[in-house]
Amino acid sequence: MRVAIAEDSVLLREGVAQLLTDAGIEVTARCGTADELLTRVAADPPDAVIVDIRMPPTHPDEGMQAALTIRKKYPDIGVLVLSQYVEVGLAMRLLADSAEGAGYLLKDRVSEVKEFIAALRRVADGGSALDPTIVSTMLKRRRSSDPLDSLTPREREVLELMATGASNAGIAESMVITQRAAEKYVSTIFTKLGIPASGSESRRVLAVLLFLRS
């Protein structure tokens, strides 16, 4: 896997680059600005990019703008954004059209190396990865009336795990249930949310998008 990094903090940028290198991942670019990232991606498209939301020169959302540009111009490139804080509005902008090939993690998550690398690989492969803290915040902000009201507490827990990118095996491990039980929960969620079995889009992605937009 080939990855480009955009982070204005030299220490964090070089630290992430070293983590990736140690995991056998090729770092194609180490950028200090969002503009530099876009230039490097255009010249040598990687499999995925890691980008800080707030980048120079003004720091409000240059990194997010670059992420959205890459998502639009290079749909095959996975985009994993990092943030110091929980910013649900920015997460929704990233995932507005699709959760495929996109991720949003808090910077603290980088220290959990195994999980961070797994999330990056999942995004590069076209999956999604959401920080559990962001997912929990979204759950708390749900409207009183939405499609998720039909789900039981255990089913909502499964959907929350799905939103973080967990597979059926991962759900089973987290909830201490069998994989077959996890598969049943996922199937029931699809049915309750009215997500058809056919179609070109991933049913899991559609469920996660419905969860986010609610």
Residue 121 has pLDDT above 90, yes or no: yes
What pTM, to 2 d.p., does this model score?
A: 0.67
Looking at the structure, tell me whether residues 26 and 46 fall in a common domain.
Answer: yes
Q: Are strands 78-83 and 128-130 parallel, antiparallel or unpaired?
A: unpaired
Q: Summarize pLDDT for 9-52 with one digit per residue, the tens.
A: 999 999 999 999 999 999 999 999 999 999 999 999 999 999 99
Looking at the structure, tell me whether residues 108 and 173 fall in a common domain.
Answer: no
- Residue 132 is predicted with a pLDDT of 80
- Structure tokens given for 10: 């030299």
Residue 141 has pLDDT above 80, yes or no: no
- Residue 206 is predicted with a pLDDT of 67
Average pLDDT over residues 97-112: 84
More reliable by pLDDT, 194 or 16: 16
> Given 131, 150, 183, which residue is the final one in a domain?
131
Looking at the structure, tell me whether residues 15 and 74 fall in a common domain.
Answer: yes
Looking at the structure, tell me whether residues 50 and 127 fall in a common domain.
Answer: yes
Looking at the structure, tell me whether residues 103 and 170 fall in a common domain.
Answer: no
Instruction: Evaluate whether residue 137 is within a structural domain.
Output: no
Looking at the structure, tell me whether residues 126 and 150 fall in a common domain.
Answer: no
Average pLDDT, the chain: 84
Looking at the structure, tell me whether residues 159 and 103 fall in a common domain.
Answer: no
Instruction: Evaluate whether residue 195 is within a structural domain.
Output: yes
- Residue 199 is predicted with a pLDDT of 47
Looking at the structure, tell me whether residues 127 and 155 fall in a common domain.
Answer: no
Which residues, including other chains, have CB under 8 Å from residue 193's CB and lie 6 or more apart?
Answer: 147, 148, 150, 151, 207, 210
Burial class of residue 143 in the structure, from the number of CB atoms within 10 Å of its CB (0-12 exposed, 13-18 middle, 19+ buried): exposed
Q: What's the total number of domains in the chain?
A: 2
| Residues above pLDDT 70, as percent of the chain | 86
Instruction: Evaluate whether residue 136 is within a structural domain.
Output: no
Average pLDDT over residues 64-77: 93
Looking at the structure, tell me whether residues 83 and 162 fall in a common domain.
Answer: no
For residue 99, the enclosing domain spans: 2-131
> Given 92, 110, 131, which residue is the final one in a domain?
131
More reliable by pLDDT, 151 or 206: 151
Instruction: Evaluate whether residue 158 is within a structural domain.
Output: yes
Q: Give 74's pLDDT tier (boundaries 50, 70, 90).
A: very high
Looking at the structure, tell me whether residues 161 and 87 fall in a common domain.
Answer: no
Looking at the structure, tell me whether residues 93 and 55 fall in a common domain.
Answer: yes
Supply the CATH number for residue 10's domain: 3.40.50.2300
